[in-house]
């Protein structure tokens, strides 16, 4: 296939995406192939590279080995609805974090070992609890009320195996959170567990914090170590501390990102509103570096976090979602038309909607510019600035409020390629508004002689 005839990729200049080599080969170098996929599967189209999840898992697992720490990795399946990515996690030999019986079903369908599943959500149903206990999966208990529900289930059904439990602790820095338990509730659950060893297998503690600094995690680990000691005093042997997810990834170069944040103002947005918060798209750390720095961070005056875990005989568990799917997908929108507005600005209409690119729904923006793939003869148009909207009839339902600088005017049939969308970007809010069918996903596998094989991701 000749991908150079009558096609050109226009790379953005403001916030160009960082691209993995395999992804760049398609997103930048094979526009005709992309166009053929969109014509076959529709727009928007989500293109997934499952092998990149395996690579990311290997990179994360290598870090604790250097520190002598035993690591349990669970893929946060909520980050994406792709079955191919769940299957890749299973093939990589890691566990899966499931937040519903439906995610659990898909993980088991992908071949997951039930004992390598952990359920961390706060609102588990009785049906979900029954399935988790029956399969021997690990349950993170969010509250006293959830523990009492498990006790009632045990009395009613007398399952043939003990329920495997973590207790979710709420660190002092997260007192306003609705998730997890404070010290008094943890102590209550520990006493109950000590009296019900035939019904429950206590394995350790779990917590999750927002943000990306090491200091808050290290402090939370210090607090949890106090709970580990309290559990051991009453004969409960904690084996693992699960610190949840929240490992950072890099979408754009840090220097470009910092320069944009410093220079932007309300005029960069079609609604004249500057968002108050963004994901750190141009952060300085990738996930393996972040994990390395956490393990090397001080636990106390003489001990690192890694050394403290080793001294207490504890495994570390993490539940990355976004960082495991770093670079593992792109989302492709076909341009419908460009419209000039009365105020002199332009809007690019695409086949799709913000339900397939969700940051505007959270009063934020995806600070990564799309790649424009143009087809046919050169448009002969000067550079233009425009925001992007889809086929929704709602005036504020746009894919970007931010005004994007295009090197040339997009034309009907051109493609806008958003990179690195696997992490909460491409399918979190997807629906059939206006009765448009759900966007399709296809999984890419590299074939022989540099070829590319694709199949529906289901």
For the chain, give the secondary structure using H, E and C. Answer: CCCCCCEEEECCCCCCCCCCHHHHHHHCCCHHHHHHHHHHHCCCEEEECHHHHHHHHHHHHHHHHHHCCCEEEEEEHHHCCCHHHHHHHHHCCCEEEECCHHHHHHHHHCCCCHHHEEECCCCCCHHHHHHHHHHCCEEEECCHHHHHHHHHHHHHHCCCCCEEEEEEECCHHHCCCCCCECHHHHHHHHHHHHCCCCCEEEEEEECCCCCCCHHHHHHHHHHHHHHHHHHHHCCCCCCEEECCCCCCCCCCCHHHHHHHHHHCCHHHECCCCCCCCCCCCCCCCCHHHHHHHHHHCECCCCCEHHHHHHHCCCEEEECCCCCCCCCCEEEEEEEEEEEECCCCCEEEEEECCHHHCHHHHHCCCCCCCCEEEEECCCCCCCCEEEEEECCCCCCCCEEEEEEEEECCCCCCCCEEEEECCCCCCCCCCCCCHHHCCCCEEEEEEECHHHCEEEEECC
pTM for this prediction: 0.94
The CB-side HSE value for 281 (13 A sphere, CA atoms) comes to: 26
Residue 184's pLDDT is: 97
* Phi, then psi, of 318 in degrees rounded to 5: -135, 155
Q: Which of 135, 189, 358, 393 is the catalytic position? A: 393
Cβ(22)–Cβ(52) below 8 Å:
yes
- The widest CA-to-CA distance across the chain, in whole angstroms, is 78
Is residue 120 exposed (0-12), middle (13-18) or buried (19+ Cβ within 10 Å)? buried
- Structure token pair of residue 142: 């969010």
Does residue 44 have a cis bond before it (omega within 30 degrees)?
yes
Distance between CA 395 and CA 381 in Å, rounded? Answer: 27
- Structure token pair of residue 398: 């746009």
Distance between CA 298 and CA 307 in Å, rounded? Answer: 9
- Structure token pair of residue 150: 């498990």
Residue 378's pLDDT is: 59
**Which domains, from first to last, does the chain contain?**
7-49+327-456 (2.40.37.10), 51-250+285-318 (3.20.20.10)
Residue 450's pLDDT is: 56
Residue 89's pLDDT is: 98
Active site residue 358: no
Residue 431's pLDDT is: 63
Cβ(164)–Cβ(139) below 8 Å:
yes
Residue 297's pLDDT is: 96
* Phi, then psi, of 323 in degrees rounded to 5: -75, -25
Distance between CA 444 and CA 28 in Å, rounded? Answer: 15
Cβ(188)–Cβ(217) below 8 Å:
no
Residues in the chain where the model's pLDDT stays below 70: 1-6, 353-357, 361, 377-381, 428-429, 431-434, 436, 447-451
């Amino acid at each position: 296939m000749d991908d150079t005839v009558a096609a050109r990729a226009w790379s953005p200049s403001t916030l160009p995406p960082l691209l993995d080599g395999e992804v760049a080969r398609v997103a930048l170098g094979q526009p005709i192939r992309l166009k053929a996929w969109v014509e076959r599967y529709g727009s928007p189209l989500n293109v997934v590279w499952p092998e990149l999840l395996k690579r990311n898992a290997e990179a994360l697992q290598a870090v604790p080995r250097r520190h002598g720490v035993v690591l349990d990795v669970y893929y946060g399946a909520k980050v994406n609805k792709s079955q191919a990515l769940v299957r890749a996690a299973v093939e990589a030999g890691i566990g899966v974090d499931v937040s519903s019986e439906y995610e659990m079903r898909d993980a088991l369908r992908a071949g997951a070992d039930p004992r390598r599943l952990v359920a961390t959500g706060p609102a588990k149903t009785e049906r979900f609890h029954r399935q988790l206990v029956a399969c021997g999966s690990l349950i993170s208990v969010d509250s006293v009320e959830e523990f009492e529900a498990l006790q009632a289930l045990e009395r009613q059904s007398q399952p043939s195996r003990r329920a495997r439990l973590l207790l979710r602790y709420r660190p002092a820095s997260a007192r306003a959170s609705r998730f997890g338990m404070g010290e008094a509730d943890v102590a209550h659950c520990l006493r109950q567990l000590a009296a019900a060893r035939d019904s429950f297998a206590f394995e350790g503690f779990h917590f999750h914090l927002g943000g990306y600094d090491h200091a808050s995690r290290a402090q939370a680990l210090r607090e949890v170590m106090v709970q580990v000691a309290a559990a051991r005093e009453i004969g409960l042997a904690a084996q693992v501390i699960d610190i949840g997810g929240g490992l950072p990834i890099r979408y754009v170069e840090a220097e470009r990102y910092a320069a944009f944040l410093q220079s932007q103002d309300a005029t960069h947005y079609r609604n004249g509103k500057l968002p108050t918060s963004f994901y750190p798209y141009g952060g300085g750390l990738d996930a393996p570096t972040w994990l390395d720095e956490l393990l090397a961070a001080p636990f106390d005056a003489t001990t690192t976090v890694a050394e403290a875990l080793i001294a207490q005989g504890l495994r570390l568990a993490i539940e990355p979602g976004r960082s495991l799917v770093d670079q593992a997908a792109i989302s492709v929108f076909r341009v419908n038309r460009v419209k000039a507005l009365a105020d002199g600005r332009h809007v690019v209409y695409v086949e799709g909607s913000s339900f397939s690119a969700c940051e505007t729904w959270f009063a934020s923006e995806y600070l990564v510019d799309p790649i424009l793939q143009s087809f046919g003869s050169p448009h002969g148009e000067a550079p233009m600035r425009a925001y992007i909207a889809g086929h929704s009839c709602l005036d504020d339902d746009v894919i970007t409020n931010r005004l994007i600088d295009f090197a040339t005017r997009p034309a009907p049939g051109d493609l806008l390629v958003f990179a690195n969308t696997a992490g909460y970007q491409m399918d979190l809010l997807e629906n059939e508004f206006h009765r448009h069918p759900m966007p399709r996903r296809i999984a890419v596998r590299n074939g022989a002689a540099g070829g590319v094989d694709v199949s529906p991701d289901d």
